[in-house]
Structure 1
Amino acid sequence: MGDPEVHVRRLWRHRGAAVPGPRRGPQRQLDLDEILRIAIGIADRDGLAAVTTRSVAALIGKTAMALYPYVGTKEDMLALMQDHASAMPAWDDPEAGLPEALGAWAEALFEVYVAHPWLAERPWSQASQGPNEQDWLERLLRILDRWDVPPQARAVAVTTLYATVRATAGTAAAYAGLDRSGMEEWSARVAATRTVIPDFAERYPLSTSLQPVTPDWRAAPREALRESVRLLTRGLPGA
């Protein structure tokens, strides 16, 4: 990582932090938001592995070194992308109760992760500590506080909700990426398993009789998220 203070200033540039200009050479000619928009576009289209300072710079008509004064190292750039892509949309917290309020928060974050599937590839140990990601956590804690969830139960609720959103959104993104050939391959494996293991259902009676969350498999991740939130709130003290 480059200079930590400069990196934090870049993260918080829209919340009052001043970003220093280049120490030498021409003054800033590139826009950090535009750089991040291009980098996020690459990640959305081709995956996180395709994002390099070189690939981003090429689309701007610059060299990789020319980006350094704006984004820092590659890891700095990935953290900036992560926070930039995590901007929270506007919505009103439902008044009906805790399950509805948590459900609205979870589905809003779910949509962000579905729009940017690579966000789930970034481990929690690489949280950006930027303002947009912090907004999500603060909003969630305010919901728990408003509905009088005891402080000792909040950390578990936070971890469970984030993990569930990431997992279900990742599955939804994978489903969205399945084309006809992918479905045919999956169906062929199912048929082959039944042929090779004819007593499969007898060996695994509970697994094979498991009822789906919804008949529409593409909608299953979102519905699983909704049901998970309902289950979680039932177990929260004070809910």
Structure 2
Amino acid sequence: MAEQSAVDQAEQLLNLLWRRELPPRSSTRGPRQGVSVDEVVRAAVAIADRDGYEKVSIRAVAAELGLGPMTLYTYVPSKWALIILMVDEVAAEDAPIDASRPLPERLAAITGQVRAELLRHPWLLEVPPWRLVLGPGRMRRYERQLAALDGAGMTDLEMDRVIAVLSEFATGNARMAVAARRSAQEMSDAQWWEVHGPLLTRVMPAEEFPLSSRVGATVGEKYQAPADPDGAFGYGLDRLLAGIEAGLPR
């Protein structure tokens, strides 16, 4: 019985994800819905963008749409199902990558799109990424990414590996960039150093940490911040792309 219930839940979620691709249901039973599933998902995304991941709830989305909480369950069966719909919705924002561009530009476009999506929707960093059900938004993005690599001399497995490595690099960097942005809203980096700089100088003996002191002073002067996510992204991406290209057949 439990297994059947899991199958039913999976089928319900897949039907919601692929709702635009499936034939419309002809049944007219039940009350007429006042809003669409698309509107429910867009409202949830707006809340997450504005207020953060933790503020997304069935109750909050219902209030955003002027509905009762129980009414929203006639559109989505659970908060987790709603989150999966939100993830798939924003994945559809990516533009196609021109396959005629040089390979490094195509690789950079894949990585840049992943990072840009996370900066636009930071709540995505809080969604557990494992076993997310695939909907048309994420599948079409994967298809676009593969199309950008097709014909470059990679095997199918290599194409998937390259997309995974570039995506994980972009995600790690975006996480740091989002953290920097949020911290700056509370206290500027200059103010933080004014407070902590003299204290660190007093408690951290330079003779015990000679390399850290020297390098830390250099990067602190250069970045005027604890780190430089944008600069690190460009630096790391250049080297990642060079390594990927070096491994391709000539």
Q: Classify the TM-score, shorter chain.
A: 0.7 to 0.9
Report the aligned-residue RMSD: 3.0
Q: Indicate the larger mover: 31-40 or 170-179.
A: 170-179
Q: 1:5 aligns with which of 4, 11, 24?
A: 11
| Unmatched segments (≥5 aa) in structure 2 | 1-5
Q: Which residue of 2 aligns with 1:40?
A: 45
State, as a whole percentage, how many aligned pairs show the same letter.
Answer: 27
2:137 to 112, 128, 132: 132
Instruction: Report what 1:232 is aligned to.
Output: 240
> Is 1:179 the counterpart of 2:185 in the alignment?
yes
The 1-side partners of 2:159 and 2:98 are apart by 18
Question: Where in structure 1 are there 5+ consecutive unaligned residues?
Answer: none
Aligned residues between the structures: 237
In structure 2, C-alpha distance between the alignment counterparts of 1:124 and 1:62, rounded to whole Å: 30
Alpha-carbon separation, structure 2, partners of 1:23 and 1:96: 50
Match of 2:119 among 114, 117, 122: 114
- Once the two structures are TM-superposed, the CA of residue 215 in structure 1 deviates from its matched residue by 4.4
Contact kept, 8 Å, 1:40 with 1:81, in 2: the verdict is: yes
Q: Deviations over 1:70-129 (max 9, x none)?
A: 112111011001111222332542644221111012112221111100112112214231
Greater displacement, 37-46 / 145-154: 145-154
- TM-score of the pair, normalised by structure 2: 0.81
Please report how far the alpha carbon of residue 62 of structure 1 lies from its aligned counterpart in structure 2 after TM superposition.
Answer: 1.5
CA contact (8 A) 1:9 1:19 kept: no
**Could you tell me whether the CA contact under 8 Å between 1:106 and 1:165 is conserved in 2?**
yes
Larger radius of gyration: 2
- Tell me which residue corresponds to 1:71: 76
2:200 aligns with one of 193, 206, 209: 193
Q: Aligned in 2, Cα 1:190/1:156: closer, same or farther, shift over 3 Å?
A: farther
| Aligned mates of 1:218, 1:134 — CA distance in 2 | 37
Residue matched to 2:105: 100
Query: Are the aligned partners of 2:99 and 2:148 in contact in 1 as well (CA < 8 Å)?
Result: no
CA distance in 2, matches of 1:94, 1:173: 30
Residues 111, 166 of structure 2: 8 Å contact kept: yes
Distance 1:98 1:119 in 2: 28
Structure 1 pair 101/179, CA: closer, same or farther in 2 (3 Å)? same
How far residue 4 of structure 1 moved from its aligned partner, in angstroms, is 1.7
